[in-house]
Chains A and B, each alone.
Chain A
Amino acid sequence: MSDDPTNSGTLVRVDGVDKVFHRGEEAIHILSNLHLAVPAGQFLALMGPSGSGKSTLLNLIGGLDRPTKGTVAIAGERVDALSDRQLAGWRARHIGFVFQLYNLMPVLTAERNVELPLLLTHLSKVERQKHVATALAMVGLSHRAKHYPRTLSGGEQQRVGIARGIVTDPTLLLCDEPTGDLDRKAGDEILNLLQALNHEHGKTIIMVTHDPHAAARATRTVYLNKGQLSHEPVT
């Protein structure tokens, strides 16, 4: 399936993408001739069975991996054509990642974790501190700034993860099962947060999830199955 290609507000454009992994001799086709267009300001939920390639697609969009065939363009820039070195800088400027297992640095406090992506900018220490404070305030964790990850609950750790994801004000926020490891209540808080970021701050978000309840918070849901996207869950 494909969205209206004439939409001028399209932020993410995936065109004719194939992704093949090799396991020894065997070639595994994960994505085949996949098309996806995400307009700016959308909160997209990406669902599909385990192993269908959701994370793989997210990684292609986030410039962590390259398609075997086809193109990935973000805000008009061909991501698949960038060199590894260029990609690193591009990710730092355009992408915020939120991981299922938070991926915080255990030796750093919450605020130092949030500051990490800012080390890749030219901001001064004072400016960085200001951005960190803003991001932590947005996720409601100002009072936990000096805490280490291991002293925080799962929900709090994920909120630190989101603060780290948005602190540079990225073009696109990519979340891979952000509530996958949380109970319903903590998960709801995370979803509230993502929804607010989308509604109030106009953040474009792509969220991979297994949970229909979580997907319901998104403005649109697509389903990945057998290498292709569809609007309807495949049964």
Chain B
Amino acid sequence: MAGPLNWFAQVLAITKFGLMSMPQRRGAVTATVFGIAGVVGVLVGVLSIAAGFRRAMDASGSPDAAIVLRSGADSEMVSGFGREETRLIADAPGVARNRQGPLASAELFVIINLPKRSTGTDANVPLRGVEGAAVEVRDHLKFVEGRMFEWGKNEVAVGVGAAREFAGLEVGSTIKVGRESWPVVGIFSSGGGVAESEVWTDAKVLQAAYNRGDSFQSVYVRLNSPGAFQGFKDALTANPRLTVKVIRQSDYYAEQSTTLTRLITTLGVLIAGLMAIGAVFGALNTMYSAVAARTREIATLRALGFGGGAVVVALMIESLVLALLGGALGAVVAYVAFDNFRAATMNWQSFSQVTFAFAVTPQLLGQGVIWASAIGLVGGLLPAIRAARLPIATALREL
């Protein structure tokens, strides 16, 4: 009987005929490839939005940093502290220190309107008031142009994302805050994190401009180590003079990104799923016509002694090859079109715009390939089984 090696030779031979005869079925083959490319392109494209947003959020948070909010607050928007409370938080155990004191920045923010460069319409931009340690409590924060604002002055520094997305945030220009004009003195980056979407100034100056007294909304701290988090948290929650919620920075941003990324992912999978159903029928059609066009050829091979199983596998491989061609095409197009594409979106937790870049990650490309393969296999299965089931004597009669 035929051994596995020999079986492999059969599959190879039949697959070869199929692939070699593709030029004769150009139309259907091209339609199928493009159909599958469309599915993969849309899937990868849409999911790259979610991946990019998640990446921006992940870049914002570090495990050895924490955010302290008022107990019961889900975001800074609804949180609030007095000066005394922020001092207690900064002095808690586990907070890293340098010569100036604890690495803690009590912050507040307001939302200002700035025109989007793309549309000219106004959008919400966070104007954040920070303290001296603000740079140390965030990762990768560095100035790409100009300098930090001067403490006590009506000056702002702007994140690169905000500077790119909104008009009038170049160094040297001024923005209107309340009744006054504030010059932009520097632009900073933060490794793609949320801070890049913000405008910063001195917390004291902002409190005065907005009549906030001596109140804050959050305290950002740098911890001695990621392991110091639990002790820090326990100390604060045990303190009867505080009612706070302590969140690791990385968790805080991860949570902010889940709603949006889940929404986008669901949407992307839904659209791509609908398209995939169409693509499966395309592949089905192509493979049925491939089988029909080769009925006598396949029957001849079967008459010579080629096995039915080899026919099934060969046709599945053919379908898979088509699908992978389409998948690769879609993935390449998605990569070229979407990777690093800049965008801004509403972050509902802060009611302001977050800028980020679409990210076509290797995982997404892998996901695209898996979808393409699935379409190819599903579309190829029934035609392949039909081909193997054809009664040889009947099939040989066909011209």
Chain A residues in the interface with B (C-beta under 8 A): 55-56, 59, 62, 64-65, 84-85, 88-93, 95, 97, 99, 101, 103, 105-108, 116-117, 119-122, 164
Contact = CB atoms under 8 A, between A and B. Distances in A.
B305 A105 contact: no
B304 A89 contact: no
B306 interface: yes
Nearest to B20: A107
B396 A99 contact: yes
Nearest to B297: A105
Contacts of B13: 116, 119
Q: Is chain B's interface secondary structure helix, strand, loop, or mixed overall?
A: helix
23 contacts: A55-B397, A64-B392, A65-B391, A85-B307, A88-B302, A88-B308, A89-B305, A91-B304, A92-B2, A92-B304, A92-B305, A93-B305, A97-B304, A99-B300, A99-B396, A101-B399, A103-B300, A106-B21, A107-B16, A116-B13, A117-B305, A120-B6, A122-B3
Interface of B: 1-3, 5-6, 9-10, 13, 16-17, 20-21, 296-297, 300-308, 391-393, 396-397, 399
Contacts, number: 75
A84 B391 CA distance: 10
A65 B392 contact: yes
Closest 7 CB pairs of A and B: A92-B305, A107-B20, A65-B393, A103-B300, A91-B305, A59-B393, A119-B9
Q: Which of B296, B301, B396 has the most CB of A within 10 A?
A: B396
Given A64-B392, A65-B392, A97 B303 contact: yes
Nearest to A174: B303
Contacts of B399: 101
B396 to A, nearest CB: 7
B303 A64 contact: yes
Identify the interface centre among B10, B16, B308, B393: most chain A CB within 10 Å of its CB. B393
A62 B392 CA distance: 11
Contacts of A89: 1-2, 305, 307
Contacts of B2: 89, 92, 120
Contacts of A121: 6
A59 B397 CA distance: 11
B153 to A, nearest CB: 79
